[in-house]
Amino acid sequence: MNRPTPESFVVRPRVDHEGTELEGDMLEVSMGPQHPSTHGVFRMDVVLDGETVVKLKPVFGYLHRNHEKIAEGTSYLGSMPYTDRLDYFCSLTNNWAYALAVERLAGLQVPERAEYIRVITAELTRLQNHVGLCGFLLQDMGALGTPLMWAFRQREKVLDLFESLTGARMMCNYMRFGGCRCDLPAGWLEQARTVVADFPAFLREFETLLSGNEILMARTQGVGRLSPELAVAGSVTGPMLRASGVDYDVRKVDRYGIYDRFEFRVPLGDHGDVYDRYMIRVLEMHESLAILRQALKGIPGGPVIDPKAKLRGFRPKPGESYGRIEGPKGELGFYLVSDGGPNPYRYRIRPPSFINLTLLEDMCLGRSIADAVIILGSVDIVLGEVDR
Amino acid sequence: MASLDQIFVALKDWLVAFVPVALQPLAGALLSIVAIMAVFPGIFALTTVVERKLLARFQNRPGPNRVGIPLTKIRLAGFGQFAADGIKSLTKEDIVPRNADRIVHFVAPFVLVAPAFLSLSVVPVGRNMAALDFRETGLLFFFAVGAATELSVFMAGWSSRNKYSLLGAMRGIAQMLSYELPLILSSLVVVMMAGTLSLATIAERQSGVQWGVVHSWHVFTPWGFAGFLIFLTAACAESNRTPFDLPEAESELVAGYFTEYSGFKFALFFLGEYLGMFAISGVAITLFLGGWNAPFTFLDWVPSWMWFFGKLVGFILFFIWLRATLPRLRVDQLMDLAWKFMLPMSLVNLVVAGVWHLAASWPHLLRWPLCVAILALPYWLLSRGFQTRFKTRTYRFAEESRPAPATAAAGP
Amino acid sequence: MIGIGIAKGLVQTARNLLGTYTDKDRLPTIEYPEERQALTEATRQFPFLVHDGDDPAKGLRCVACQICEKECPPKCIYIVKSRDKRVDYKGQMQFYPATFDIDYSVCMSCQICVEVCPFESIKMDTEFEFSTADRFRGLLFDKHRLAKSDAHYHRIHPTDAAESDAVMAAERAKAEAKAKADAEAKAKAAAAKLAPTPAASPEAQMEAPKPGSDTPTMPM
């Protein structure tokens, strides 16, 4: 819609209606890396005309940890805890994507119970990510923490579940090649059912506070529009793509794991603006709850890990594989090449937040600096994943 | 009870009587200054703690509850916090950017605090308790002095040589100038009806009785109510409170115009903002909420200054509540609201006040609906204009091979 | 009309504010140093070494096989193998760690050392209050600080501890059975050999330390 033409990237001196050049400078502001709302150590080089963004250059790499190269020197298992730290909000989905890639490489079969556990943990991860994001977005909009704290109050309950299952709240390191590390502890399913049953009441409260709020609507509607064509061209994925109205959800497209057994819908937006991105996430939380209800009802007994899987001396046969899942932020993929050794020969991640971030300038041009902040918030980035 | 009502006035008279007659006016002024400089910063100190605790409660946290009396286990529910904050801000390093205009940078916080104190001096905090009672110019003085705030904001933003500060200052100037207009226009209604600019007299005029037991506060009239709402919104914007805290928008401009201030100067900005908020709340109380008058005649025995400070606390709590709830507007929306909504509404309100005055002899049943209709129609029209820009949306779901509901209503 | 959404939001926050005074769920803060959250059984913080019996120096289960050192993703474990051997819990002669250091400042609590350990000797502790002024020495834990008793392990992770006891009991039984079978075989062999050459006993003694010797003997 407001697809920038190449010349719009050039900062030109302004002219008045008679064509004479006006005095006055553009203001170049370096927002970040220690700016309060860049979601970590992210920097935007913004050129402002008054308060209007004329040029915006995202600068990242402050949190680069050489993850991919380290993984090429570490055993397959040793990279698993590092994947937790990619998108530290959603360690379990990261685990799953990596485990999926290795399982395809090594030809391991995941037992049914483990598949159910994976779906449950992944959807819980999606819930806590989206609810956290909605809070952060409102924080960027200046709502002084109330929505954020409410979101965190609810997120804590999901994290409690993670802790009693995996031993850690955020760095779960739970999935293993061919299943999961351990079985559910006693009473965990009941605890999860309670959390899932309580969630809709919280969402109602959250939406009463926010979704109908005139200030929120005025701030977000029509802001940061992303056309479906541009979104596809920029290979944007996840809620951001669906907010632009493109029906693409890896859970439906790939039907990895056992997602074909569950009934859920994919909400789509028509405008592709910040409000749509916010609402799509709220609606996705409702769908995640639907999946969780089905999965918590139908979970079977049995082993949680493929008996063929081994921890030590794991050497998949030479070959390559790509495992992708619908992470909370978009399509998260791991590409692995094995030369038969204990380490992957090549290890490459397709990080959704990084790729979604590439269109930041296109969304921000011509908007004010206040919009740029919430557009960045609506992209939903985690710098651990952007910089790797 | 009358003695308790006038206890501070009597105390002042008693103290002043010790001084030679020639010096008595000076001594009286000094006493008033001391009183203002003790009471309002005291309220400020308490407000910082109460605000933090209440905001925390709104956010499901307990808030500050640790700092009490040092070296003991007494915690005072966290109300020692302001002392700790004060000591901290006094002992912190005072950082001035190398390229800053040192003199302007130094002066700016004082330019904010001094007018705030001055504007507090015209607010009648109780019967016969206004430090400065200008018979002809009370309200004018308040607005004139209050306008110095803009100067301070711009001094701070300009002298800091920081881009965020500059942006914040620009926003601050634009916002405060735009909201000065509805603020003055909405208070003009009261001046029209009361026929005076003296705040003490305006407060006194509202001590009449209507409907049997209710004091005739201005807010109990259509023009008063509308004027009050406009004044309240504009007051929010004038004192840079959420949802109009754009000049210091934390998530956008780090801290806006006082980004480059630290230590005690930062604390002074903080103090100045809160004093400004108290002053403007005090004026709102005086203009619309009956000043130091009780709401009901049977509560008249409570001292007048208690009513004033009670109402002030109510205002503070309301501002905290707003701050805990609302997101921030954008600059252009802020301007739209000021110029395209509040300004027309306050002009309409002037007309309503005139109609109310002309229809003074009409029965209430006729006078009220007429005035409400004159107000409601433009309100409806204007808010329709705003609502074309945003609406609640419904969302569709992706079609599937399996039969599923094609569209479903969602959202609020 | 404009303002309704804002009013609804205000009502919602006010309800929440009042709710914090009545509903425990709305004020979930745990005031840390005085109150503590009950840790779940799965909680993991940093690894420690399990020892049997009362003497940590003697009872360490670790046999310095160095698998955890190799598998540790951030490489925070440093082991030096002993030169001599001693009897382990299976009753076999094994090496023991002369040095076993874990740098807690590097450790990322991933639990992989626990998973790969074949000797049930390294486990995750739930202790996390290690703040220290000495950034390097203060967080470099040697084997004396790492060693904690089996009883401690049973207290913090009862289910896991019972499982690892079962594993160890099974292995011990296996080892005993094997030793018994070996002894019987030897006895038989000795009995068979007894007639021609009565020199079986020194051979049997030399045989004894063999089970441990398939791991490399040189400390890294």
- Tens digit of each residue's pLDDT (9 = 90 or more) over C42-73: 888 888 888 887 777 777 888 888 888 888 88
A window 316-335, beta carbon within 8 A of B: none
Do the chains contact at B325 and C2, CB–CB below 8 Å?
no
User: Quick check: helix, strand or coil at residue C51?
Assistant: strand
Pairwise CA distance, residues B356 & B374, whole Å: 11
> Is B402's pLDDT higher than 60?
no
Pairwise CA distance, residues B112 & B273, whole Å: 8
Do the chains contact at B60 and C26, CB–CB below 8 Å?
yes
Tally B–C CB contacts below 8 A. 40
Average per-residue pLDDT in chain C? Answer: 79
Do the chains contact at C10 and B58, CB–CB below 8 Å?
no
What is the least distance, in Å, from the CA of B325 to any CA of chain C? 6
Give the per-residue pLDDT at C194.
65
- Amino acid in position B178: S
What is the least distance, in Å, from the CA of B81 to any CA of chain C? 17
With contact defined as 3+ CB pairs under 8 Å, the chains touching A are B, C
* B324 contact C CB<8A: yes
What is the least distance, in Å, from the CA of C191 to any CA of chain A? 42
- Amino acid in position B275: L
Report pLDDT digits (tens) over C111-144: 888 888 888 888 888 888 888 888 888 888 888 8
> Is B263's pLDDT higher than 80?
yes
- Scanning every residue of chain A, which has its alpha carbon at the shortest distance from the alpha carbon of C15? A205
C101 HSE (CA, 13 A, CB side): 13
- Scanning every residue of chain A, which has its alpha carbon at the shortest distance from the alpha carbon of C14? A209
User: Quick check: helix, strand or coil at residue A266?
Assistant: coil
pLDDT along chain A (388 residues), means of 10: 45 59 72 79 84 84 88 88 88 90 88 90 91 87 83 89 88 87 87 90 83 81 87 89 88 85 87 88 90 88 80 84 89 90 89 88 85 87 85
**Beta strands at A43-49 and A344-350: parallel, antiparallel or unpaired:** unpaired
Instruction: Say what percent of chain B tops pLDDT 90.
Output: 0
C-beta separation of A181 from C115 below 8 A:
yes
Residues 6+ apart with CB under 8 A from C21: none
ipTM rounded to 2 decimals: 0.80
Range with lowest mean pLDDT among B237-246, B331-340, C114-123: B237-246
Do the chains contact at C29 and B61, CB–CB below 8 Å?
yes
Give the per-residue pLDDT at A125.
92
- Using CB atoms, pick whichever of A37, A265, A270 lies closest to residue B398: A265
Do the chains contact at A212 and C5, CB–CB below 8 Å?
yes
* B61 contact C CB<8A: yes
Do the chains contact at B325 and C13, CB–CB below 8 Å?
yes
Residue keyed to tokens 């990619």: A86
Average per-residue pLDDT in chain B? Answer: 82
Residue count (chain B): 412
Tally A–C CB contacts below 8 A. 84
Residue keyed to tokens 């990279």: A79
- Scanning every residue of chain C, which has its alpha carbon at the shortest distance from the alpha carbon of A79? C73
Give the per-residue pLDDT at B2.
59
User: Quick check: helix, strand or coil at residue A45?
Assistant: strand
Do the chains contact at A167 and C42, CB–CB below 8 Å?
yes
C contacts of B383 (beta carbons < 8 Å): 1-3
* B403 contact A CB<8A: no
Report pLDDT digits (tens) over A369-384: 888 888 888 888 888 8
Report pLDDT digits (tens) over B169-203: 888 888 888 888 888 888 888 888 888 888 888 88
Q: What is the DSSP string of B85-127?
A: HHHHHHHS-----TTS-HHHHHHHHHHHHHHHHHHHHTS--ST
C contacts of B321 (beta carbons < 8 Å): 10, 13-14
Give the per-residue pLDDT at A206.
83
**Beta strands at C97-103 and A175-176: parallel, antiparallel or unpaired:** unpaired
Give the per-residue pLDDT at A22.
59
Burial class from Cβ neighbours inside 10 Å (0-12, 13-18, 19+) for residue C175 reads middle
Give the per-residue pLDDT at A12.
53
Q: Which among B246, B265, B266 is positioned nearest to B256, based on CA atoms?
A: B246
Count H helices and E strands in chain B, helices first. Answer: 16, 4
Do the chains contact at B60 and C16, CB–CB below 8 Å?
yes
Chain A: residues touching C (Cβ < 8 Å): 74-75, 77-82, 84-85, 146, 150, 153, 156, 163-168, 171, 173, 181-182, 185, 205, 208-210, 212-217, 311-312
Do the chains contact at B322 and C2, CB–CB below 8 Å?
no
In a mutational test of the A interface, the residue from B53, B55, B330 whose CB has the highest number of chain A CBs within 10 Å is: B330
Pairwise CA distance, residues A59 & A42, whole Å: 6
With contact defined as 3+ CB pairs under 8 Å, the chains touching B are A, C
Other C-beta atoms within 10 Å of B234: how many?
A: 29
* B395 contact A CB<8A: yes
Give the per-residue pLDDT at A17.
61
Pairwise CA distance, residues A81 & A176, whole Å: 10
- Which stretch of DSSP H or E encloses residue A25? none
Do the chains contact at A213 and C73, CB–CB below 8 Å?
no
- Using CB atoms, pick whichever of B324, B395, B405 lies closest to residue A268: B395
- Using CB atoms, pick whichever of C13, C108, C110 lies closest to residue A146: C13
Give the per-residue pLDDT at C207.
42
B contacts of A276 (beta carbons < 8 Å): 393
C window 158-187, beta carbon within 8 A of A: 159
Please, what is the end-to-end C-alpha distance for chain B in angstroms? 53
Which tokens sit at A90?
A: 């959603």
Give the per-residue pLDDT at C27.
84
B contacts of C31 (beta carbons < 8 Å): 62, 65
| CA distances for A51 relative to A370, B171, B244, angstroms | 8, 9, 17
- Using CB atoms, pick whichever of B62, B65, B325 lies closest to residue C9: B325
Report pLDDT digits (tens) over A246-299: 888 888 888 888 888 888 888 888 888 888 888 899 899 999 999 999 888 888
Do the chains contact at A368 and B331, CB–CB below 8 Å?
yes
Pairwise CA distance, residues A387 & B243, whole Å: 34
Pairwise CA distance, residues A209 & A199, whole Å: 15
Do the chains contact at A213 and C9, CB–CB below 8 Å?
yes
- Scanning every residue of chain A, which has its alpha carbon at the shortest distance from the alpha carbon of C6? A213
> Is C197's pLDDT higher than 60?
no
